[in-house]
Amino acid sequence: MRDNLALDYAALADLELAALAQRGDRMAFGAITQRCNQRLFRIARSVVGDDNEAEDVLQEAYLRAFAAMAGFRGEASLFTWLTRITLNEARGRLRKRRPSVALEALEAAQESGAALVAFPRSIRGLSPEREAARSETRRLMEAAIDELPEAFRLVFILREIEDCTVEETAGQLGLRPETVKTRLFRARKLLRRALSEKLASSVSEAFPFLGGRCQCVTEMVLQRLGREAGPDGSQVSAAAV
């Protein structure tokens, strides 16, 4: 048997890591968590809606997964298996906090035919000003995503943020591909509406020109007027300037 200290865990495939974890190799399981942390955190947070609680969910889900590693048969991907454990833990906590709303009622409440809105991927090399604007946009987007019904939020996270295919998303959530497509459409529609409402209140405040910038221009104009005044204090005509 190979010395575990000599293994390059990061280079191993998921099933190889799973096999080692099934034999009690905690370093292999640690490599699994590193590989899955971000996506599973986003999934947990999409259910519980809070960063700290999502971290707690993730830790508990990993503990449950490690204890149940012998039950992993590789019939689904390792990530799909972990996703289901994470969802079960997150939803269990959510049920303790508030009653659930029937998904059918939520979907029936959505009217069809709205235009879709594009969600661009990451952009590199932005100026500090544009990066600040992008951070604010991200904050608004995250707040709008948090307001989505859980079923739509999960699909949106996997499809638009994690860039999973329809088939991958369907497999991880136990849905039909057609359901994934429908929920993504409705999620994007709800986000478009929410963002329009959030941004509408800011339109009247766009392109601000107050405070120091405003005062500076006034002072510059007065200085130029002073320089362009005639000997008797009268203004020089526009033709003479």
Do residue 151 and residue 214 come from a single domain?
no
Does residue 222 share a domain with residue 190?
Answer: no
123 and 199 together in one domain? yes
Looking at every residue in the chain, the average pLDDT score rounds to 78
Q: Are residues 68 and 155 in the same domain?
A: no
Last residue of a domain, one of 64, 84, 100: 100
Residues 117 and 184 in one domain: yes
Assess whether pLDDT exceeds 80 at residue 98.
Answer: no
pLDDT for res 231? 59
pLDDT in tens, 135-192: 777 788 888 888 899 899 999 999 988 888 999 999 989 999 999 999 999 999 998 8
pTM for this one? 0.59
What range does the domain containing 230 cover? 210-241
- The pLDDT of residue 240 is 44
Domain count, the chain: 3
- The 3-class SS string of the chain reads CCCHHHCCHHHCCHHHHHHHHHCCCHHHHHHHHHHHHHHHHHHHHHHHCCHHHHHHHHHHHHHHHHHCHHHCCCCCCHHHHHHHHHHHHHHHHHHHHCCCCCHHHHHHCCCCCCCCCCCCCCCCCCCHHHHHHHHHHHHHHHHHHHCCCHHHHHHHHHHHHCCCCHHHHHHHHCCCHHHHHHHHHHHHHHHHHHHHHHHHCCHHHCCCCCHHHHHHHHHHHHHHHHHCECCCCCECCCCCC
pLDDT tens, residue by residue, 48-91: 888 889 999 999 999 999 999 999 988 889 999 999 999 999 98
Is the domain of 118 the same as that of 78?
A: no
CATH of the domain at 58: 1.10.1740.10
CATH of the domain at 197: 1.10.10.10
Task: Check whether residue 126 and residue 201 sit in a common domain.
Answer: yes
Higher pLDDT, 115 or 191: 191
Mean local confidence (pLDDT), 100-104:
45
Q: Which of 55, 76, 100 is the last residue of a domain?
A: 100
Whole-number pLDDT of residue 74 = 87
Residues 50 and 117 in one domain: no
pLDDT at 13 over 90: yes
Domain end position, chosen among 54, 84, 100: 100
Whether 239 shows a pLDDT value over 80: the answer reads no
